């Protein structure tokens, strides 16, 4: 669960603000097939993702918790249960679906059209920081 999630809700999820504050690159914790129980949405994959950074501006001296290492779920509606993503990979979500995403009972239900696998940098200086070398699904 993401701490301070009230900063990003207003009936709809404020995805642009969330993405700015947490970076665009997240680490994959789990990948599962997704099928809409009502049969309305296309098949896809449900990702559990770990936030890698917290870019929020905090007031000087105000106590806060860093959102890095918090997890959230995202559903990517690709029409297929297949994915080349696995635990430990880095990815970037694309095509936020505001029309079918929501925030309810302290949880995000965010849906996307696509996800890109990102190759991490291997120079040792920044560890697992992404370089931007992307692989499109």
| Domains held by the chain: number | 1
CATH number, position 72: 2.40.50
Q: Could you tell me the pLDDT band of residue 75, with boundaries at 50, 70 and 90?
A: very high
Question: Each residue of 23-69: pLDDT tens digit?
Answer: 899 999 999 999 999 999 999 999 999 999 888 877 777 777 788 89
The more confident residue out of 52 and 5 is 52
pLDDT of residue 130 exceeding 60 = no
C-alpha distances (whole Å) from 89 to each of 11, 71, 119 are: 31, 14, 8
Question: Each residue of 103-129: pLDDT tens digit?
Answer: 877 788 899 999 999 987 654 333 334
Beta strands in 1-106 (DSSP E): 9-10, 12-13, 26-34, 44-51, 71-76, 90-96, 102-104
Q: Is-contact 53 134, C-beta < 8 A?
A: no
Residue numbers of the domain that contains 105: 5-136
């Amino acid at each position: 669960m993401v701490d301070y999630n009230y900063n990003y809700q207003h009936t709809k999820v404020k995805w642009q603000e969330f993405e700015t504050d947490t970076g665009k690159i997240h680490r994959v914790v789990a990948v599962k097939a997704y099928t809409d129980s009502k049969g309305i949405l296309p098949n896809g994959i449900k990702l559990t993702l770990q936030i890698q950074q917290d870019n929020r501006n905090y007031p000087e001296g105000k106590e806060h918790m860093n959102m890095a290492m918090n997890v959230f779920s995202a559903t990517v509606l690709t029409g297929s249960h297949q994915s080349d993503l696995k635990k430990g990979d880095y990815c970037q979500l694309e095509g936020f679906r505001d029309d079918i995403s929501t925030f309810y009972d302290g949880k995000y239900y965010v849906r996307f059209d696509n996800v890109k696998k990102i190759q991490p940098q291997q120079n040792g200086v920044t560890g697992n920081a992404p370089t931007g070398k992307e692989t499109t699904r």
